[in-house]
Amino acid sequence: MQFLTILTPLLAAAVMATAAAPVQAQNRGDEALLQMQQAYRKGDRARLTQLLPDMRGHVLEPWGAYWELRARLDQATPQEVAAFLQRFAGTYQEDRLRNDWLLLVGQRRDWAQFSALHPLYRMNDDREVRCYA
């Protein structure tokens, strides 16, 4: 009986600590997201890259990843863009980045890449992209 008296508070503490860990991680992700939003608005690429790891696993990670890649899209490789599009397939951010990339590829007159990506563009809400098409 003495053993159970000691064990019960320890088990309760362990359960509470385990339950609190995801909440703490979520709170860190929330804070990182807010900081990333501010950095994106300021055009602070370094800060975006620094904060991105804190977003891993957060429900709004696609926004953080979008802001980070969008801020440096002019320097991104087609492979980086393809990896983002694949990783976040089906999300709003995937198609938004596709829109941004299509604009850049169109400006660069890379018609082979434009032609490969354009059929996958779902929103079709950008006049400039339609013009390039």
Domain boundaries, the chain: 1-71, 73-133
Per-residue model confidence as pLDDT tens digits over 69-98 = 999 999 999 999 999 999 999 999 999 999
Q: In the block, which residue shows the tokens 């009986």?
A: 1
pLDDT confidence tier of residue 26, bands split at 50, 70 and 90: low
Would you say the pTM of this structure is higher than 0.85?
no
Among residues 105, 29, 38, the alpha carbon closest in space to that of 71 is found at 38
